[in-house]
A and B are shown apart, each in its own frame.
Chain A
């Protein structure tokens, strides 16, 4: 069931109505669970086994760890007087080891499925390349595999829950069905955001009454989402697909314009999906985490990743970055470097201090790259982003001194604009890996974007990309709308344009909403003859 379909609108309206009319409010959450599984089975019943497996294994593992933690507490309480410090320590270590084993087994099983379904052909291809280089085939057969809907998202969310239980930051959920709801919540199953149990769980199971303010805000958010998806993203993707299908046919100007268009399309598409998800949840009385905060206004690549796909960034930070950076191995390296002669110098001391952070960032972005897809270009995408962050961490003192030497006023508006543009260029380079057919293709596209710029020819070529003049005008209008609302949002801290209207007159709000609905209906890409693109992040 596509988000951009009448079925989905009817489904959502029906679920909302049943949810609030459900006679026993205590069990309201069961409506959501039923809706989740209806949505999932309707979208592809053969996938259901995987989500059920993840739900069951993570639930059981969480319960086992939780029980172990309880037993540990009770035993320590009972043996408080009896055991000495060493005995307690040994007991705790034993319990932790057992818990770690359960955690590891559950994570291996679930990430194993994800890796098998998503990456086995990538790994097989790589191995074949090693065994028989240049032949394009090899002894390891390629498998015909399908990717269950939302597998990356729900696997990460479930893993996060289990790690939180293991770290005792949350108590394990006792009710299997409530846990199943947390894993399968329909507005987020397709493309996130990846929520933590602590943030989302209690809201899902709480009793909710319909609230006008939530309904209004939720519907406005959904409308904004459809505006971005149907008017901008699904229109831009037509030109992007035309060029990327055979980029060699086009001039560097067109390729550069396509990369810029992709930046617009990707943001419009992904943030639209999240807005629709969050809007639905909001109507149901549930607040989901923010996933975007005007990412193209980021002043550094670090900042960008704090604004783009925030929930994935948070997940990576909590469950990969910190554990890796604080691991004995990395801290050991840091210590060793500090102790070395290089570590005694000012530069060496700095490098030794930030080394775990820098390397952890690289590892995180390699994972982020792979998370996006099983392809060398995504690995390159990860290395590019990780490498830039690593360098920016390691060379921070150099850059600071350079700014001082050049007497740059780092608080000035011009410097901020420069940093925004610089970050955008870095991000844009990363996008070439997304749109190119492969790693080499990405490099070639970049090269041509610089060396093959013909403004006049380029502009005329833009006419043959599957979009008419009116489409380009609409895209320009859409981009301008996003830009203006983002500037205002950035200045006043608004999350989405609906908030800007909050204190405006009824007539103005009414007019804006009226115009938005009409524009979506008239300018939106939908209906027979069109094949509206799936949300980009659904494939991940």
Chain B
């Protein structure tokens, strides 16, 4: 009798475990908020602990304008863009804790766009979901969800509750498969880079405006920014650089954003940190306006490469960065990543021979795009 009961319990338990595991698998790759942002953040957690010397924190400007592979190729310094779309200053202190939980970067670069957001962007629920999905620090994750979670809080822990009906969307399937491939490989190839392949038509840049003028941040944004700065101080991180990545200023909105960025720079300076408006260096970097821009806020892949090269020189000079000390296996992985980035750029150059305008076409670690890029891969 006892044997029968045990046998039945084992059967039921095995069925339930199989269902839970299968649903957990679907939840990880398809029935979730899966996008380039989640692939990028997953890639961060796949990097070996304490192997990244530079972390770049911020919103879409970071992964559109900066390439960690290119920085490594140029300097031998490892880095990663800890960034996702519309990353608001609201979350930065949590992100810093999360970064420092796994890495001990010599330099933290913070792109300030997320500090100039208005109230709607400060509490953008998509951003909370991007960040919390893979977060390792559970108390911080809980705090974010409890404080900012908009709909069912349980769905932040179990995304399947919210995204179970997304199973048929091609984008989800593609991104989910890409994430699975990346997970199986165990590391990211493009290191979160998101390279624009098509330009959008933009109005002409304004000429008569004061590039150094300032404007107050949203009071809540300022509060969160100061909290982040306090966190930076308390963390003991060696170098923190605040920057504004290249933008085209074409209207009043753009001018206001610049002014608020400058104000954020002033606040950072109060804490003893440096602020750089990288727009000023576009000429030196060889970035052509507007040809190297995808839209007003993001660079094309050509711009991304030029900008990263320029930034690499600046960082090595300024912070005396030395090539990261990597094990042979790690070095091999980074070298492989560089080859892929080169292939992407070759693909980009080929694609731009017959460019398509006003289209959203990007190269990021998505399986179908990578399959296209593969033929440009150096066979070596």
Contact = CB atoms under 8 A, between A and B. Distances in A.
B32 to A, nearest CB: 12
Contacts of A524: 164
Given A518-B22, A521-B164, A528 B151 contact: yes
Nearest to A506: B11
B31 interface: yes
Interface string B1-40: 0000100100100010011001100100001000000000
Contacts of A514: 15, 18-19, 22
B161 interface: yes
Interface in A438-486: 470
A517 interface: yes
Contacts of A518: 19, 22-23, 26
Interface string B151-162: 110110000111
A521 B30 CA distance: 13
B13 to A, nearest CB: 12
Given A518-B23, A522-B26, A522-B31, A529 B164 contact: no
B167 interface: yes
A522 B167 contact: yes
Nearest to B4: A212
A510 interface: yes
B129 to A, nearest CB: 11
A524 B165 CA distance: 8
Contact of A527 (B8, B22, B164, B167): B164
B15 A528 contact: no
B120 to A, nearest CB: 19
Contacts of A510: 11, 15
A513 B161 contact: no
Contacts of B253: none
A470 B168 contact: yes
A199 B101 CA distance: 63
Contacts of B164: 521-524, 526-527
A501 to B, nearest CB: 13
A259 B304 CA distance: 58
A6 B11 CA distance: 24
Nearest to B158: A527
A413 B11 CA distance: 43
Contacts of B151: 528-529
A526 B161 contact: yes
Given A510-B15, A522-B164, A527 B23 contact: no
Interface in A12-57: none
B155 A528 contact: yes
A529 B150 CA distance: 11
B7 to A, nearest CB: 10
Contacts of A470: 168
Nearest to A524: B164
Nearest to B8: A212
A521 B26 CA distance: 10
B222 to A, nearest CB: 31
Contacts of B26: 518, 522
Interface string A237-265: 00000000000000000000000000000
B261 to A, nearest CB: 35
Given A212-B8, A521-B160, A527 B152 contact: yes
B146 to A, nearest CB: 16
A510 B164 CA distance: 23
Contacts of B11: 506, 510
Contact of A521 (B18, B23, B152): B23
Interface string A475-519: 000000000000000000000000000000010001001100110
A527 B157 CA distance: 13
Specify which of A212, A518, A527 lies most central, judged by the most chain B CB atoms within 10 Å of its CB.
A527
Contacts of B167: 522
Contact of A528 (B5, B8, B23, B152): B152
A528 B153 CA distance: 9
A148 B164 CA distance: 34
Nearest to B30: A522
Contacts of B154: 6
6 contacts: A510-B15, A521-B19, A522-B26, A527-B152, A527-B162, A528-B162
Interface of A: 6, 212, 470, 506, 510, 513-514, 517-518, 521-529
Given A517-B19, A524-B164, 20 more contacts: A6-B154, A212-B5, A510-B11, A510-B15, A513-B15, A514-B19, A518-B19, A518-B26, A522-B23, A522-B26, A522-B31, A522-B167, A525-B165, A526-B161, A526-B164, A527-B152, A527-B162, A528-B151, A528-B155, A529-B162
A-B pairs with lowest CB-CB distance, top 6:
A528-B151, A528-B152, A527-B161, A470-B168, A517-B19, A527-B162
